[in-house]
């Protein structure tokens, strides 16, 4: 009896071992299809790599598109030590690695510790097509748009069928337009003449480079001078479409030139508007005006250094800080030097020129002679892409908007405040204003401070367009005086119109005459204009205007 118990006791243990072995074998056979596909891609020779990639793309797993993109971007490697397939991002000493299948972080490795899975151009084209197909049904519209653009580079019948099927489901207007464009470009090679004419009619409203190239291809000739496209109706329709497209391209180029001219004009207005106040009200030729802009630009740099973790907000702090610091420096210049030189314009010119040299050297001593780079916030970076032929840079757009805001605020100060009333009174007739009890000396100091503060604000705008350095203001002082004289001394509306006019004229002349000659031509025009109208576009009115 005891022997029977002894013989039967191993059976449950044997069955348990058998079940565990079968489970292990089943697990090994099931495996991870993503890891298996990656292993096949790594092991495949170059002539069989495309088939392995095509097979891998059929695996129904969310990791597949990302891994195909990593392969396309050259970020798929395998470790030489153990052949483990990894993704790598550039790091200081090599690559930051992660397991390609699981995403497990593996730390960094040297550049000679891993080997990249290399591709040729044909495989890259195949990868773009596969990624596009996989991402065509993604929930994000941007992802679908990139997928359509990738698929349209080398469409095959299967790709076109997918795009046509997606056309009836798509709701996003940008993706819809991209699908229609891809289908129209493909229909240019259709054997059906009606389809080709319809495609040309669709492409007639586009302005992209691909469209122009495809339409130009219909008008090419061979070595014998014969058209490659035998159908004259197709050629004439394509030629008419190209004429329309070129006309719109010229229109968009003109709009872009006007925009760049207005943005340049906005900088000139910001630089000159403070000078218009001091020059118009006080008759002071302030050669240190450019250095006051420089102080505003350096204030922006310092504020960013003090707020390294709040770059997006630093600009809003820099604007009032630059105004206040530049205004205080301007008041100090007026109270310390200029108030002793009223009525002697040549001496004020020489004195303020000396002040400008002093301020430049002070900045060199504090910040060094090297230029300083001011970071641009993310909301000012990039461009506003209206279509394939027209894009507007955001930093210049915001500077144009900022110029208008500063101009409106300054007008409100001069029209609706006591200081503005006193400034206008002194500008029109200083002696009469003093006789009426207006404290002209205080008005002079506040006016000079106001103009200097606006110069500092202009420096904030300039810091977003160029590097900040000790010679920043010297580039704009001559242009500022030109704008003030051309618009009419002391007239803010004249300064606005003159700044925008000179900016646009400069940008239209640059493609034909070059940057330097364009400035010379503008200067010659102003000299001739001042000979005819010495008081500028909008001369100052009042009893003192004729003095």
* Same structural domain, 401 and 274: yes
pLDDT of residue 26: 39
Q: How far apart are CA 159 and CA 4, in angstroms?
A: 72
pLDDT of residue 540: 63
* Same structural domain, 301 and 226: no
Per the domain annotation, does 336 fall within a domain? yes
* Same structural domain, 214 and 272: no
* Same structural domain, 423 and 492: yes
* Same structural domain, 374 and 447: yes
Number of domains in the chain: 3
Domain final residue pick, 174, 198, 230:
230
Distance, CA of 280 to chain centre? 37
Q: Domain limits at 14?
A: 1-30
Helix, strand, or coil (residue 208)? coil
Structure tokens at 523: 């200067």
For the sheet with 76-79, list strands across it. Answer: 105-110, 94-99, 85-90, 76-79, 114-116
Under DSSP, the state recorded for 379 is G
Under DSSP, the state recorded for 475 is G
Per the domain annotation, does 302 fall within a domain? yes
Per the domain annotation, does 245 fall within a domain? no
* Same structural domain, 171 and 294: no
- The residue with tokens 């993310």 is 378
Under DSSP, the state recorded for 117 is -
* Same structural domain, 382 and 477: yes
Write out the chain's pLDDT in tens, 547 residues.
444 444 444 445 444 444 444 444 333 334 688 888 888 888 888 888 888 888 888 888 878 888 888 888 888 888 888 888 888 888 777 888 888 888 888 888 888 888 888 888 888 878 877 877 777 777 788 888 888 887 777 777 877 887 888 888 888 888 888 888 888 888 888 888 898 999 999 888 888 888 888 888 888 888 878 888 888 888 899 999 999 999 999 999 999 999 999 988 998 898 888 888 887 667 778 888 889 999 999 999 999 989 888 888 888 999 999 999 999 999 999 888 888 887 787 888 889 889 999 999 999 999 888 888 888 888 888 888 887 778 888 888 999 999 999 999 988 988 888 888 888 787 777 778 888 888 878 888 888 898 899 999 999 988 888 888 888 888 788 888 888 888 877 678 888 888 899 889 888 888 888 877 888 888 888 888 887 887 777 776 554 444 4
Per the domain annotation, does 170 fall within a domain? yes
Per the domain annotation, does 128 fall within a domain? no
Per the domain annotation, does 193 fall within a domain? yes
Per the domain annotation, does 113 fall within a domain? no
Please choose, from the candidates 475, 500, 462, 464, the residue with its C-alpha nearest in 3D space to the C-alpha of residue 259. 500
Helix, strand, or coil (residue 86)? strand
* Same structural domain, 377 and 346: yes
Helix, strand, or coil (residue 385)? strand
* Same structural domain, 326 and 180: no
pLDDT of residue 177: 87
Instruction: List residues bridging with 95 in a β-sheet.
Output: 90, 109
* Same structural domain, 176 and 280: no
CATH number, domain containing residue 301: 1.10.3470
Structure tokens at 235: 């050629």
Residue 287 — φ and ψ, nearest 5°? -75, -10
pLDDT of residue 31: 65
pLDDT of residue 494: 86
Strands (E), 214-305: none
């Amino acid at each position: 009896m005891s022997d029977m118990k002894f013989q039967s006791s191993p059976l449950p243990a044997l069955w348990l071992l058998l079940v565990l072995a079968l489970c292990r074998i089943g697990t090994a056979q099931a495996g991870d299809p993503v890891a298996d596909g990656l292993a096949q891609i790594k092991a495949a020779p170059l002539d069989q790599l495309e088939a392995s990639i095509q097979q891998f793309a059929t695996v129904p797993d969310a990791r597949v598109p990302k891994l195909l993109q990593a392969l396309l971007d050259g970020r798929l490697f395998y470790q030489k030590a153990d052949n483990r397939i990894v993704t790598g991002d550039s790091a200081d000493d090599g690559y930051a690695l992660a397991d390609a299948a699981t995403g497990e972080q593996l730390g960094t490795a040297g550049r000679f510790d891993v080997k990249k899975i290399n591709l040729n151009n044909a495989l890259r084209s195949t990868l773009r097509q596969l990624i596009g197909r996989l991402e065509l049904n993604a929930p994000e519209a941007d992802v679908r748009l990139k997928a359509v653009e990738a698929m349209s580079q080398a469409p095959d019948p299967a790709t076109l069928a997918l795009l046509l099927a997606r056309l009836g489901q798509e709701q996003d207007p940008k993706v819809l337009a991209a699908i229609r464009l891809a289908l129209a470009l493909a229909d240019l090679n259709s054997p059906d003449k009606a389809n080709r004419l319809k495609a040309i009619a669709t492409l007639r409203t586009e302005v992209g480079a691909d469209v122009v190239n495809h339409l130009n291809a219909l008008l090419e000739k061979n070595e014998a001078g014969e058209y490659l496209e035998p159908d004259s109706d197709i050629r004439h329709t394509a030629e008419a479409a190209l004429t329309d497209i070129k006309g719109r391209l010229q229109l968009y180029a003109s709009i872009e030139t006007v925009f760049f001219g207005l943005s340049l004009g906005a900088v000139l207005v910001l630089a000159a508007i403070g000078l218009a106040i001091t020059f118009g009200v006080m008759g002071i030729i302030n050669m240190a005006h450019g250095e006051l802009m420089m102080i505003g630009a350096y204030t922006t740099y310092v504020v960013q250094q003090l707020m390294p973790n709040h770059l997006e907000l630093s600009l809003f702090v820099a604007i009032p800080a630059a105004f206040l610091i530049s205004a205080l420096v301007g008041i100090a210049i007026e109270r310390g030097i200029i108030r002793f030189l009223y009525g002697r314009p040549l001496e004020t010119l020489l004195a303020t020129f000396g002040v400008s040299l002093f301020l430049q050297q002070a900045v060199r001593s504090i910040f060094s002679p090297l230029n300083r780079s001011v970071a641009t916030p993310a909301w000012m970076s990039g461009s506003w892409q209206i279509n394939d032929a027209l894009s507007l840079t955001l930093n210049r757009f915001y500077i144009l908007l900022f110029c208008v805001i500063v101009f409106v605020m300054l007008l409100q100060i001069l029209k609706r405040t006591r200081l503005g009333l006193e400034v206008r009174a002194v500008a029109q007739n200083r002696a009469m204003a003093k006789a009426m009890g207006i404290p002209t000396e205080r008005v002079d100091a506040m006016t000079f401070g106001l103009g200097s503060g606006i110069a500092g604000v202009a420096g904030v705008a300039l810091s977003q367009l160029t590097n900040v350095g000790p010679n920043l203001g010297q580039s704009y002082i001559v242009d500022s005086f030109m704008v003030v004289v051309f618009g009419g001394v002391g007239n803010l509306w004249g300064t606005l119109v003159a700044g925008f006019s000179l900016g646009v004229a400069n940008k239209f002349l640059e493609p034909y005459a070059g940057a330097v000659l364009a400035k010379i031509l503008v200067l010659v025009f102003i000299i001739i204009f001042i000979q005819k109208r010495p008081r500028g576009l909008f001369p100052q009115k009042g009893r003192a205007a004729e003095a």
